[in-house]
Amino acid sequence: MCKSIIILGIESSCDDTSAAIIKNGKKLSNIIGSQKIHEQYGGVVPELASRAHQQNIVPVVQQAIQESGINKNQISAVAFTRGPGLLGSLLVGVSFAKSFGLALDIPIIDVNHMQGHILAHFIKEKNKIYNPPKFPFLCLTVSGGHTQIVKVNDYLDFELIGETIDDAAGEAFDKSAKILGMKYPGGPLIDKNAQNGNPYAFTFGIPKVDGLNFSFSGLKTSILYFIQKNLKENPNFIRHNLEDICSSIQHSIINILINKLEKASEQTQINEVAIAGGVSANSGLRNRLKQMEKTHNWKTYIPPFSYCTDNAAMIAITGYYKYLNNEFCSQEITANARLKL
Ligand code: KG4
Ligand code: ZN
């Protein structure tokens, strides 16, 4: 029988410290240590994130190994997020992975965080049906720092065909939430409040951007002016209309995303369509994508909630495919905050 491939994945690009074990493509554990400290600052504070990763990394890795039921000497390779992300945060995961690799004398594998989000669709799980997208497929990758449309030709063959020219979709959610006085990250709070609101109650400016690229900064300004104007007339405007405001904001963001995805599908003639990244946890986006199956004859793929936001299982699965391809890196490797797809 051939030898099992066991990958330890490490993710520390932003404010989640995560470690996971994947055996032959199947998840055995996926531990995520989130950092609550940033809530009070209205966004991630890089210095505090880096320090919290330092404190969390050893216990998180220990727990991932323990929960997986394997012994650390069985690990075939360590995969880690090289970038993109916050440099001080990335450095913790990169240094840890290098030391772990040296100590156990096993290879290390550098992973691009955005590729990880996409390959989250290929994580196998016990007692769950495995139904990944078929190549080539389109993936809308929407997170706090990125908004991209990627043509995925194979496990490790990606073509960036559209991206944001300013803010990311997650930022549009978070900044809108901040204008409404909500805590960071505001995306999930907008989602929650939007559930019972009217998506057509208010309308905001729609960006005009060529091709498959996105822009969200105009929408943010339009929301800011709208709120300021209404607060002048009625100081309780937000409180009295919160559900409708959230629902309308969410509807505008989803419209921008879906319109471009539709265009991408037309241009490429691909109707296998996936979403990935933190914003793919948004219930409105998930429902809208499902509707496209009926109206556009798409086959759509939505990751389970646990693989939408940052996690190390997605890094480990990418490491697994790189391992199969003999793509390892040397101990000279450094973190790259602006790593491209
Ligand atoms: O992928 P991710 O965990 O981290 C980055 O790589 O950036 O994405 C985080 C982003 C945040 O902007 C957060 O507000 C957003 O994902 N997010 C959501 C939801 N859950 C997370 N946005 C809208 N609705 C949600 N349910
Ligand atoms: Zn991410």
Ligand nearest to the CA of 314: 2
Supply φ then ψ for residue 51, to 5 degrees.
-65, -40
* 3 state SS of 216: coil
> 162 CA to middle of ligand 1, Å?
19
Helix (H) or strand (E) holding 175: helix 169-179
- Nearest atom in ligand 1 to 13's CA: 6
Ligand 1 contact via 174 beta carbon (within 6 Å): yes
Ligand 1 contact via 15 beta carbon (within 6 Å): no
- Nearest atom in ligand 1 to 184's CA: 14
- Nearest atom in ligand 1 to 177's CA: 14
> 149 CA to middle of ligand 1, Å?
17
Ligand 1 contact via 143 beta carbon (within 6 Å): yes
> 143 CA to middle of ligand 2, Å?
6
Token pair 């997170």: residue:
143
* Residues contacting residue 250 through CB under 8 Å, at least 6 positions apart: 173, 190, 191, 194, 199, 282, 284
Looking at residue 222, its pLDDT comes to: 96
Ligand 1 contact via 167 beta carbon (within 6 Å): no
Ligand 1 contact via 282 beta carbon (within 6 Å): yes
Q: How many CB atoms lie within 10 A of CB 134?
A: 11
Q: Are 109 and 77 in contact (CB under 8 A)?
A: yes
Name which residue sits closest to atom 20 of ligand 1, judged by CA.
188
The conformational region for residue 337 under phi > 0 = left, psi -120 to 50 = alpha, else beta, is alpha
Report the side by side order of strands in the sheet with 147-154: 157-163, 147-154, 137-142, 272-276, 299-301
Looking at residue 1, its pLDDT comes to: 55
Residue 63 CA to residue 48 CA, distance in Å, equals: 23
pLDDT 10s digit of each residue in the chain, 341 long? 578 999 999 999 999 999 999 999 999 999 999 888 888 888 888 989 999 999 999 999 999 999 999 999 999 999 999 999 999 999 999 999 999 999 999 999 999 999 999 999 999 999 999 999 999 999 999 999 999 999 999 999 999 999 999 999 999 999 999 999 999 899 999 999 999 999 999 999 888 899 999 999 999 999 999 999 999 999 999 999 999 999 999 999 999 999 999 999 999 999 999 999 999 999 999 999 999 999 999 999 999 999 999 999 999 999 999 999 999 999 999 999 999 99
* Residues contacting residue 298 through CB under 8 Å, at least 6 positions apart: 265, 271, 272, 273, 289, 292
Q: Which of 275, 264, 270, 272 is nearest to 299 (CA)?
A: 272
Ligand 1 contact via 310 beta carbon (within 6 Å): yes
The conformational region for residue 105 under phi > 0 = left, psi -120 to 50 = alpha, else beta, is left
Ligand nearest to the CA of 257: 1
The one-letter amino acid at 284: G
- Nearest atom in ligand 1 to 277's CA: 1
> 259 CA to middle of ligand 2, Å?
23
Q: Which residues of 108-117 are buried (b: 16+ CB within 10 A; e: fewer)?
A: bbbbbbbbbb
> 278 CA to middle of ligand 1, Å?
3
Looking at residue 137, its pLDDT comes to: 98
> 143 CA to middle of ligand 1, Å?
5
**Cα 224 to chain centroid, rounded:** 26
pTM metric for this prediction: 0.96
Residue 111 CA to residue 316 CA, distance in Å, equals: 9
Ligand 1 contact via 83 beta carbon (within 6 Å): no
Ligand 1 contact via 43 beta carbon (within 6 Å): no
